[in-house]
Amino acid sequence: MPNAAPDHLHRLIHAMTRAEKRHFKLYTSRHLPGGRSSLHLLFDAVAAMPEYDPDALREKFAGQAFMRRFPITKRRLYEAVLESLDAFHAGSNVDDKVSRMLHHVEILFAKALHADAAKVLRTAADLARAHDRQPLLLQAAEWERRIMERSNYAGITDAALAGRAKEVERAAAQWMEADALWALKSNAFRLLWRNGQAAGREQLRELGGAPLLAQGVRPGSAYARFLHHHVRSALAFARNDLQTCEEQLERCAQVVEREGGRLYDSAGLLLGVMGNLAHVRMRLGRHQEALEGFRRFRQLPLMMKQAPNPDLGMKLFVMGSSLELSVRSMQGEFAKAMACTHDLEAGLERHGQQVGAVRRAELMLQAAYACFGAGEHGQALRWCNRLLSEKGIEGFAQVHALGRMLNLAALMELGRTAQLAYVVRNTQRFLRRNGPALAMEAALLDHAQAMAKGMDANSLRAAWPLLHARLAAHANGPCAALLDQVDFLLWAQAKAEGRSFGELVRDRWQARHRGPAAANPQRAA
């Protein structure tokens, strides 16, 4: 029976492109008798396996000498694949070029060819400096120091030593500045991912007071400049200051477009910025700009010089799926959004655990919301259950809580009162462990609990307007960001008016695009 446990060799081989696999055969054939060996046999067998199955390998190669020391053979194959990939991608980016030059410096230095080493070192340092690669500049400075010492400082002037000291100090300061901004970013995003916009506000406010994030500060490197605006956009988003968030995201885009050559993974950074801009503009009500941004986002991969690598492909899948579901749901086109969930399911299967737990959960929440809006509450429940079953999702409070709330709403729509009672108790325990419930959560729980206890038709009709009033009272507070993801307020209004939720969302979208004079306030609430 196949062993579905992940295997490092299987993962690596299945992550290779056809060109990389072909290169592996050519690369290893140069060193293997007759161009065929146990490594080739094992490579082909593992490449043909949808899931790693060691028992099938043992059966296939029973009696082969290399199976007597199978773990050693696997390790040799893994190392050979990595060496082949290293050769295949040699010189594919600035970091690799500079690193190889520094290795050449080391070889020349060891052979006492110090003048030749110094010449290669100057080229490497110039390339690193031109592309803002401070860590590599510091490595180059170390080799420069060794070469000076080995030549007993022949031809080295006071000015040369002072200039070197100044450059090392500048590179170290820029690296430390970027690292400090990265630490601010990591702390901010960790709080946002785990607690959401409605929690951790005091800690986020403290982070926002860091001198490196002050208005008018211009960091010394391109990456630090990007991080400066990136962190400020995230903190503005956390306090629901969407105007400032948009301005900072636009600054991020300007840095990438102007200084992309100095940034590692500039394509991935630009994709992230464009995706976030589309989301923020959608929330600001500037829907036409958001849709234009969405179209531009979808065209970006076609404009790239090279096809996206697996990591960028995964980012495209995550951000593209999220944007499409968000746009369709905002327009009230829930049936079209639900149709996207088939591709979403295939993408989640294809990318597996490359997509982090919280990103997977967010996509599942959006899929559940699309099904919910389309009136397919059983499918919404299925996606909610998948979300709540994600390993480690309990640590991300906001998306977990929203998944639980949407789960409750789907059960209410399906009239499963017996199951509803159990889920209400379970959700109450979860919220108690994670601090006090938000007003929206408390209102939904109270309503669900009343339904679980049993309500006649008249009581139920009277309960929906009360739920809507409770939610409306808190729509502009900490709950505003949550309602942007799952509009429980409009759902409660639809139930109170006896109308379709999807119809109400479409009416609101159309009213916004007809302009305020034509909008019906009852339907656009």
Domain count, the chain: 4
Domain boundary among 289, 304, 319: 304
Residue 1 has pLDDT above 50, yes or no: no
Same domain, 267 and 229: yes
Query: Is residue 358 located within the same domain as residue 416?
Result: yes
70 token code pair: 């199978």
Q: Are residues 266 and 365 in the same domain?
A: no
Closest of 409, 464, 461, 469 to residue 439, by C-alpha: 469
- For residue 517, is pLDDT > 60? no
Q: Are residues 207 and 285 in the same domain?
A: yes
Check residue 520 and give its pLDDT.
39
Tell me whether residue 319 is in a domain.
Answer: no
Q: Which CATH number does the domain housing residue 273 bear? A: 1.25.40.10
Asked whether residue 309 is assigned to any structural domain, the reply reads: no
Residue 417 has pLDDT above 70, yes or no: yes
Residue 1 resides in a domain: no
Judgement on whether residues 289 and 398 belong to the same structural domain of the protein: no
Nearest to 293 by CA among 256, 315, 320, 268: 320
The structure's pTM equals 0.79
Long-range contacts of 83-88 (CB under 8 A, 24+ apart): 83/27, 84/20, 84/23, 84/24, 84/27, 84/28, 85/16, 85/20, 85/24, 87/23, 87/27, 88/19, 88/20, 88/23, 88/27
Q: Show Cβ contacts of residue 345 under 8 Å, excluding neighbours closer than 6 positions.
A: none
In this predicted model, what pLDDT tens digit does every residue of 311-347 receive, in sequence order?
778 888 888 888 889 888 988 999 999 999 999 999 9
State percent of the chain over pLDDT 70. Answer: 91
Same domain membership, residue 131 and residue 54: no
Q: Averaging pLDDT over each range in 204-213, 261-270, 314-323, 468-477, which range is the top one?
A: 204-213
Q: How far is CA 142 from the centre of its chain?
A: 36
Question: What's the pLDDT tens digit per position in 27-46?
Answer: 888 766 544 578 898 999 99
Angle subtended at Cα 210 by Cα 171 and Cα 197, rounded to the nearest 5 degrees = 120
Shared domain for 384 and 452, answered yes or no, is yes
Determine, yes or no, domain membership for 285.
Answer: yes
Q: Are residues 200 and 250 in the same domain?
A: yes
Q: Is residue 2 part of a domain?
A: no
**Residue 137, domain member (yes or no):** yes
- Collapsing DSSP to helix, strand or coil, 489 comes out as helix
Q: Are residues 468 and 516 in the same domain?
A: yes
Stretch 122-128: mean pLDDT: 96
End-to-end CA distance of the chain: 57
For residues 150 and 207, membership in a common domain is answered with no
Out of 236-250, 293-307, 315-329, 469-483, which region has the weakest mean confidence (pLDDT)?
Answer: 293-307
* For residues 79-85, average pLDDT: 92
pLDDT for res 521: 34
Is residue 134 very low, low, confident or very high in pLDDT (cuts 50, 70, 90)? very high
- Average pLDDT of 151-163? 88
pLDDT on residue 304: 61
Confidence of residue 524 (pLDDT cuts 50, 70, 90): very low
Q: In angstroms, rounded to a whole number, what is the distance separating the alpha carbons of residues 162 and 63?
A: 68
Answer whether residue 376 shows pLDDT above 70: yes
Task: Give the domain extent around 210.
Answer: 179-304
Of 64, 88, 112, which marks where a domain is finished? 88
- Decide if 490 is inside a domain: yes
Mean model confidence pLDDT for the chain: 86
Q: Does residue 102 lie in a domain region?
A: yes
Average pLDDT for residues 243-262, to the nearest whole number?
94
* Average pLDDT value for residue range 380-408: 88
User: What mean pLDDT do residues 480-495 have?
Assistant: 86
Q: What is the pLDDT of residue 247?
A: 96
Same domain, 84 and 98: no
On the CB side of 144, CA atoms within 13 Å amount to 20
Asked whether residue 211 falls in the same domain as residue 241, the answer is: yes
